[in-house]
Amino acid sequence: MNHEFLDLGLQPLANKYLTKTNNSNNSKQYYRLKVGFNKKTKLVSLLKKIPDKKMFDSTYPYKSSMSKTMINSFKKLSIEIKKRFKPKMFLEIGSNDGVLIRNFDRNKVICVEPCSNLAKMTKKKGYTTFNDYWNLNLAKKIKKKFNQVDVIYSANTLTHINNLNDVFNSISFLLNKNGVLIIEDPSFLECIKKVSYDQFYNEHIYVFSAIAVKNIINKFNLELFDIEPLPTHGGSLRYYIKHKDNKNIKIKKSVSFQISKEMKFGLQKFSTYVKFGKAVENSRKKLIKIFIDLKNKKQKIIGYGATAKACTVLNYCNLDNKIIDYFIDTTPDKQNKFMPGKNIKIMKYSKKLLNNANYIYLGAWNFKNEIFNKEKKFIKNGGKFITHVPFPKII
């Protein structure tokens, strides 16, 4: 049973960018974004789950290859996987636009991608691609055609799938007896430390902790053998998982180290989550005050990075186009559209639009270092950024 600890109010579907402004108050366009904690599994999840087909379709706008940070991260990872595990057959769940699999031999890769616009991109490049949602039926289809798989990888995807039991049962079924599952997702420990409540939106059904992952995979004869912290998405964890029967791979100290760190912080206790909920409400009040104070001084504020994360913040804090003039973004599928719920125009990134602003809200705060490096001139000329992580402030 899930116990609620956070209510982020009425939210639109993130990543469903509007082609025109929408002033309708139709409640059907929104859902109540509440978050709960399962005292048995220690898993954090949204209390209301949106059907997959409403979120992941032929118009999905997020492309991993739009970020240099992600390109470099996946290239480095591909080298490590090939060197450490030498897979004869590699499968990626949620292959997106192929930013990772482009580093592998086409004959040794299977892509699974439910968004048809993205699946077309990897198919066009000659990679075997299943344009489908991950489940046991698909795993059976793949096994019939390719037998078992040596390495299954998934980044920021398994937490988007409602039925985790089916997810891990399917993986256990398809994975070679000596095979390895590698998943990476935002770390709830980092989320709670940074008060990054924008990790929650309709696609992020779950936010994992190592404690929760260990509990969930246990019943599918799977176990953690290594955990690697990552800087991506504001602090993520890369989990390495194997069949329990596989005694050839030794369990590293990194597993007990991460779990003990989470236990010490109190991620096994509901009281920790209640405290987090109060910190989020406090963060909201402080961020609103920063924006109102700046607008009272007639300062021009724009947004940088029209992200799904930003969508949560805008709607929770009620920041609309009277506060933020527009967002700039490099993703073509978002440009000339509007932020869901708050009607803020998304403009094509340009230095001119950037330099027109006094302050920039970091919608893509998790790529702060990449952005700051790119916008050295804006900073040198006195331009400032606004962030809500780890607490609302002007940088």
pLDDT at residue number 23: 55
What pLDDT was estimated at residue 107? 92
Say yes or no: 235 and 122 in one domain: yes
282-316, pLDDT tens digit by residue? 999 999 999 999 999 999 999 999 999 999 999 99
**Nearest Cα to Cα of residue 146 among 180, 108, 119, 184:** 108
Has residue 1 got a pLDDT over 90?
Answer: no
Consecutive H or E run containing 207: strand 206-207
CA dist 283 and 290 (Å) reads 11
Task: Find the CATH number of the domain harbouring 366.
Answer: 3.40.50.720
Final residue belonging to a domain, choices 267, 284, 305: 267
Q: What share of the chain is helix, strand, coil (3-state, %, to 5)?
A: 40, 25, 35
Helices marked H in the chain — which ranges? 52-55, 68-85, 116-124, 136-146, 164-174, 188-194, 210-217, 253-265, 270-296, 308-317, 351-355, 368-374, 376-380
190 within 8 A of 389, measured Cβ to Cβ = no
Give the model confidence (pLDDT) of 13-33 as tens digits.
998 898 877 655 555 579 999
Q: For residue 205, which of 15, 43, 18 has the smallest C-alpha distance?
A: 43
Confidence band (pLDDT; 50, 70, 90) for 229?
Answer: very high
Do 261 and 288 belong to one domain? Answer: no
Q: Can you say how many angstroms the Cα of residue 90 is from the centroid of all Cα atoms in its chain?
A: 22
Spatial distance between the Cα atoms of 125 and 102, rounded to a whole number of angstroms: 9
Please report where in the chains the tokens 């899930």 appear, as a residue. Answer: 2
Residue 391: HSE in the Cβ half-sphere, 13 Å Cα cutoff: 4
pLDDT per residue as tens digits for the range 160-173 = 999 999 999 999 99
Angle, helix 308-317 to helix 270-296, in steps of 10 degrees: 80
Under 8 Å between Cβ of 60 and 117: yes
Query: What confidence tier does 148 reach under pLDDT thresholds 50, 70, 90?
Result: confident
CA distance 200 to 9: 12
Q: How confident is the model at residue 64 (pLDDT cuts 50, 70, 90)?
A: confident
Q: Do 71 and 91 have their domain in common?
A: yes
Tokens of 157: 């995807």
Q: Are residues 92 and 56 in the same domain?
A: yes
Residue 60: predicted pLDDT? 76
Question: What percent of the chain has a predicted confidence (pLDDT) above 90?
Answer: 85
Q: Both 159 and 77 in a single domain? A: yes
pLDDT band at 197 (very low <50, low <70, confident <90, very high): very high
Domain span at 16: 2-37+271-394
Domain boundary residue among 267, 301, 326? 267
- Same domain? 223 vs 308: no
Q: Which residue has the tokens 């997810």?
A: 167
Q: For residue 73, what pLDDT band results from cuts at 50, 70 and 90?
A: confident
> In this predicted structure, what is the pLDDT of residue 28?
59
User: Does 309 lie in the same domain as 255?
Assistant: no
| Phi, psi torsion values for 237, nearest 5 degrees | -125, 140
pLDDT for 273 beyond 80? yes
Question: What does the pLDDT average to over 345-367?
Answer: 94
- d(CA 135, CA 140) in angstroms, rounded, equals 9
Report cis status (omega within 30 of 0) of the bond before 229: no
Least confident among 98-102, 212-216, 274-278, 319-323: 98-102
Are 131 and 251 part of one and the same domain?
yes
Q: How far apart are CA 2 and CA 248, in angstroms?
A: 37
> Can you give the CATH number for the domain in which 194 is found?
3.40.50.150
Query: Terminal CA-to-CA distance of the chain, rounded, Å?
Result: 41
Domain count, the chain: 2
pLDDT at res. 378: 93
User: In this structure, are 206 and 332 located in the same domain?
Assistant: no
- pLDDT confidence of residue 24: 52
Of 216, 248, 267, which closes a domain? 267
CA 334-335-340 angle, 5° bins: 50
- Residue keyed to tokens 């705060």: 365
* DSSP label at residue 268: T
Q: Are residues 250 and 291 in the same domain?
A: no
Which residues, in sequence order, are CB contacts of 281 under 8 Å at separation 6+?
none
Write the CA distances from 112 to 44, 139, 142, 184, integer angstroms. 25, 10, 10, 16
153 and 293, same structural domain?
no
Residues 199-203 have a mean pLDDT of: 94
Work out the burial of residue 76: count CB atoms within 10 Å of its CB; fewer than 13 is exposed, 13-18 middle, 19 or more buried: exposed
Among candidate residues 83, 90, 126, 82, the one with its CA nearest the CA of residue 108: 90
- Examine the domain organization and report whether 118 and 155 are in the same domain: yes
Q: State how far the Cα of 278 lies from the Cα of 22, in Å rounded to an integer.
A: 31
Looking at every residue in the chain, the average pLDDT score rounds to 93
> Could you read off the pLDDT of 94-108 as tens digits, one per residue?
999 989 999 999 999
Q: In this structure, what DSSP letter does residue 13 have?
A: P
Contact partners, residue 183, CB within 8 Å, separation at least 6: 153, 154, 155, 158, 213, 238, 239, 241
